[in-house]
Each structure stands twice: as structure tokens, then as C-alpha cells.
């Protein structure tokens, strides 16, 4: 039976892979990988020997119809990204949408994603939140931050370590220096860190210390 499986992969600690995810990868005809080298490490770790083909933001439009045709012919595929759940600030949306249009069943497994543990670790209210992913680098940045400045929901952002300090400085400008936040760094890894405080305090901490690793920023909504 044809089906596309969306398979979350560990965001750092390989032990976070679920039994069901391993079974799906073992049984799929083909593994689609954002980076075949990264996914090959994961497959080797669990003793899985399957064909891997690239599927990423640079080729997804080109290979989309071919993959859907293969699925419609009876193939099962498992989509992996480098870390976390495919489609969440990673490739996956286009393929899922096209499968739905082509009457190909899609099943998303539950599993690792970075923003959920970061949100829980933050101690900031999570009954209502908005996931913004990576903020725009230039176009749309001012508009987005201006809109969010009066939002009372908790905000969730991804950011690169190279841009963290600048983004926190921008948050101070738009949201105010006293707005509470938490920066989660290297989640699930040996040097995991969750830095709590005001935007000014956390900004000054990372400006002095420097930043490494994968970053999730949680910012309180306006009170």
C-alpha cells in the first residue's frame, strides 16, 4: 500500500528515536533525506540499510511530481530532515500537500521537535503561543516584529547562533528590555542550556559569552 510517512528524527540525542520510527524506516521502500549524509548516520546507528535520495529546499519542486508518481504506483516512503519533525521550519509541506491532492495517504509520526521542550523548559505561559520559526532576515522583519509587539501570546522563534545576539537586540527594541524570555541551546545534548531572564539580561549574557549550537527563543507576550 502506498503511503508517505513523516518521520521525526532526534534533535541531538540519537536515543530519542522511537521504536515505531525505526520500524517505519526499516519497512519503507525509500528514505527521502534533507541531507543524505546526516540521515545515513542515523540509519547506520540503527542498522537500517535502505536506499536514500535527497529531498530538500533546493530540489523539492523539481522532484515533487516524480515522487508522487512513485507513491501512487505503490511505493512507501519515509521523509527525514536533519533534525526534528519534517515540515516544521524544514522541507516537507509541499510534498504533503501534493500527496493529499494526489490521494496518497500521509501519516505523520509523533516525535522529536525542538520548540516543544524549549517551550516547556521556559516557564513562560504556554496555553496560547505563536510559532514564528526563523524570523525574516530583512524583508518583513520590521512588519513582523511590530505586529508581535502587541500580541499577548507567548512567541516561539528559531534562530542561528550567529544571529542570536542581533535578534535579541531587535526584540529589546520592539518588545522592551524587561520582556521575559528563555533561550534554549543544544537541547537534548550534553551541553544543553536554558537561559532565563529579561531580554536585556539574556542578550548581555550571550553577547559576553558567545553562542554555539542550535537555538530556540521563547518570548513572553505583552502583559
Closest C-alpha to 77, from 60, 95, 89: 95
Distance CA 157, CA 145 (A): 12
Distance CA 66, CA 139 (A): 33
Determine the pLDDT at residue 1: 76
For domain 3-108, the CATH architecture is 3-Layer(aba) Sandwich (3.40)
Determine the pLDDT at residue 139: 93
pLDDT tens string 25-71: 999 999 999 999 999 999 999 999 999 999 999 999 999 999 999 99
Low-confidence ranges of the chain (pLDDT < 70): none
pLDDT tens string 162-177: 999 999 999 999 999 9
Domain parsing of the chain, residue ranges:
3-108, 115-219
For domain 115-219, the CATH architecture is 2-Layer Sandwich (3.30)
Distance CA 220, CA 199 (A): 10
**C-alpha cell read off for 150:** 502587541
**What burial letters (b/e) apply to 14-39, b meaning 16+ CB within 10 Å?**
eeebeeebbebbeebebbbbbbbeeb
Residue 84 β-bridge partners: 9
Amino acid at each position: 500500500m502506498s503511503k508517505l510517512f513523516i518521520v521525526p528524527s532526534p534533535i541531538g540525542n540519537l536515543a530519542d528515536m522511537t521504536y515505531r520510527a525505526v520500524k517505519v524506516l526499516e519497512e519503507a521502500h525509500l528514505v527521502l533525506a534533507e541531507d543524505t549524509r546526516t540521515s545515513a548516520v542515523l540509519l547506520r546507528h540503527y542498522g537500517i540499510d535502505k536506499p536514500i535520495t535527497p529531498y530538500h529546499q533546493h530540489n523539492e519542486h523539481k522532484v515533487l511530481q516524480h515522487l508522487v508518481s512513485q507513491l501512487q504506483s505503490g511505493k512507501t516512503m519515509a521523509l527525514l530532515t536533519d533534525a526534528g519533525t519534517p515540515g516544521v521550519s524544514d522541507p516537507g509541506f509541499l510534498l504533503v500537500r501534493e500527496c493529499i491532492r494526489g490521494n496518497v495517504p500521509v501519516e505523520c509520526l509523533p516525535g522529536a521537535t525542538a520548540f516543544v521542550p524549549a517551550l516547556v523548559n521556559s516557564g513562560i505561559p504556554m496555553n496560547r503561543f505563536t510559532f514564528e520559526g526563523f524570523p525574516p532576515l530583512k524583508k518583513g522583519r520590521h512588519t513582523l516584529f511590530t505586529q508581535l509587539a502587541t500580541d499577548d501570546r507567548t512567541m516561539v522563534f528559531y534562530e542561528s547562533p550567529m544571529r542570536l545576539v542581533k535578534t535579541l537586540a531587535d526584540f529589546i527594541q520592539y518588545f522592551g528590555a524587561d520582556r521575559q524570555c528563555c533561550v534554549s541551546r543544544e537541547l537534548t545534548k550534553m551541553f544543553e542550556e536554558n537561559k532565563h531572564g529579561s531580554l536585556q539580561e539574556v542578550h548581555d549574557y550571550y553577547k559576553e559569552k558567545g553562542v554555539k549550537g542550535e537555538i530556540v527563543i521563547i518570548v513572553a507576550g505583552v502583559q
